[in-house]
Structure 1
């Protein structure tokens, strides 16, 4: 009986972890020092923003939001952004897969003096999950989304998951 109880507790623990919501995930990993912008708000025609992609090159080449500028994460360089975005009062939206790496990059932008920096809530996964278009390195619409890892892939519910 004790073994059955331990197995049930283990299964419940595994099931509970996998049922974590994206909201819970972001609460656990982000500090909320950077305000979020929703994918719906970013997609509105009246929203004028420079969109920065804080993922790695392979992720960006697989798919990205139209007109997003790739700035990377591992090799992020604030001088590169400063040479592209001179006006530090422009609205900037940073995104990654789900919104964790992008918050880290957004903090660096704020530290460098950019005043209107936002983190895209749910990142490109949420963008695709809400049926907004993404584009590959040839600027062609695609259904493929680089999911970063098997663990993070659970948050993408639409499109084709790409791992490499």
Structure 2
């Protein structure tokens, strides 16, 4: 595709887009930070590695998210990659309102953000760039530290439900 390509005027039905994209299995993460002294977090399936040099990661929160503005304001965050036995953690972090951390065990990462116990990977990062992405924002984070604290299978999301690796 050339840089001078015309913009498409095709309208895609959002429900159809969600259904088709649901056929792409994704890992499940929780993005956490500390905002005004309190932990904040949100479930996120749009996480990906972006660059090895420099080390960048990316995720895309909805513009309607009530948690994302607090993470953005914090400026640094932790990506917690969930294990297949952490569906309860995902549900807690996916709900709106209330204390999402009341039943979640965590400690502080080097940047102060919550590292969730039982996660299979932790990635500490600073918000480097934020780009518009339709009804989402595209966040690029510069990685400062990362760790694999546990060897376990990942929590996956596929066709609107939790899934596990076969095997």
Is TM-score (shorter-chain normalized) higher than 0.5? Answer: no
Structure 1 or 2: more strand by fraction: 2
**TM-score computed with the length of structure 2 as normaliser:** 0.26
**TM-score computed with the length of structure 1 as normaliser:** 0.26
- Structure with higher Rg: it is 1
Structure 1 or 2: more helix by fraction: 1
